[in-house]
Amino acid sequence: MNPYVNPESIAAKAVRWLEQIAPFNQHEMRLNPAKCALLVIDMQDFFLDPHSPTFTCGGLAILPVLKRLIGAFRDKGRPVIYAKHVHHPNNLDSGIMGWWWKGMCIEGSPESEIHRDIAPLPSEKVVLKHRYSAFYNTDLETVLRCLGIEDLVISGIMTNMCCESTARDAYFRDYRVFFLADGTGSINEEMHLASLLNLAFGFAFVTSSEGVIDDLH
């Protein structure tokens, strides 16, 4: 099956997606450079390996975008926070997910690591999560509050799973959510676009990586 997007087509596709959701993407916001952080969700080899049962083609497409975005946040001295979805080797924490999904990403395994092109620096926070939302039973909110974050830029995979779940939870906690059309990815275009539409309607300002980078400056 051909991927719905690749690094060469992501920019043009994102323009079209933003046009399609424009009637519902009405809560336009400008990023506050002094109060923002970038969250990179689940960009792990487990999900980016084409041979994995959980391969997410949209994740490979957004790698160059995220590399530029992460560089821009680091250049401005703004926090880059990573989330990794992992489980105990004995499935002590898998719960219903162990039945729902084929294959678990095991904590400490090579495939659980974040892709080398966008690997976190030693000084950057990595949140370990066991459910879709990066807020659920993690210390993410504590870290964001300590850093004085008000604006959260959400990137990573999958658009319609962990990214959307995290965006909704962030909105519930009164963060201003900036959700990236070209910085999130899924397994097909229908799921990706559906999430962009739903989030724009009720939870986030859906924008582009270039829009966020422009606001940083």
Within a domain: residue 142? yes
Query: For the segment 6-23, what is each residue's pLDDT rounded down to a tens digit?
Result: 999 999 999 999 999 999
Q: What is the pLDDT of residue 1?
A: 67
Q: Which domain holds residue 122?
A: 10-216
Within a domain: residue 3? no
- pLDDT grade, residue 52 (50/70/90)? confident
How many separate domains does the chain show? 1
Residue 128, C-beta contacts closer than 8 angstroms, at least 6 positions apart: 83, 84, 86, 107, 138
Strands (E), 51-163: 80-85, 126-129, 151-157
- Are residues 45 and 171 in contact, defined by beta-carbon separation less than 8 angstroms? no
Which value, in Å, is the radius of gyration of the alpha carbons in the chain? 16
Residue 160 is given by DSSP the state: I
- Residue whose pair of structure tokens reads 């990794």 in the numeric block: 84
Query: For the segment 90-147, what is each residue's pLDDT rounded down to a tens digit?
Result: 989 999 998 898 888 999 999 999 999 999 999 999 999 999 999 999 999 999 999 9
- Are residues 55 and 49 in contact, defined by beta-carbon separation less than 8 angstroms? yes
| Mean pLDDT computed over 195-210 | 98
Q: Looking at residue 180, which CATH number applies to its domain? A: 3.40.50.850
Within a domain: residue 5? no
Within a domain: residue 2? no
Within a domain: residue 64? yes
Chain centre distance of CA 36: 15
Query: For the segment 150-176, what is each residue's pLDDT rounded down to a tens digit?
Result: 999 999 999 999 999 999 999 999 999
Q: Which of 106, 124, 130, 122 is nearest to 39 (CA)?
A: 124
Within a domain: residue 4? no
What is the model's pTM? 0.96
| Mean pLDDT computed over 44-48 | 96
Q: What is the pLDDT of residue 2?
A: 85
Q: What is the pLDDT of residue 102?
A: 81
Within a domain: residue 72? yes
Within a domain: residue 17? yes
Chain centre distance of CA 207: 13
Q: Which of 47-61, 110-124, 176-190 has the lowest mean pLDDT?
A: 47-61
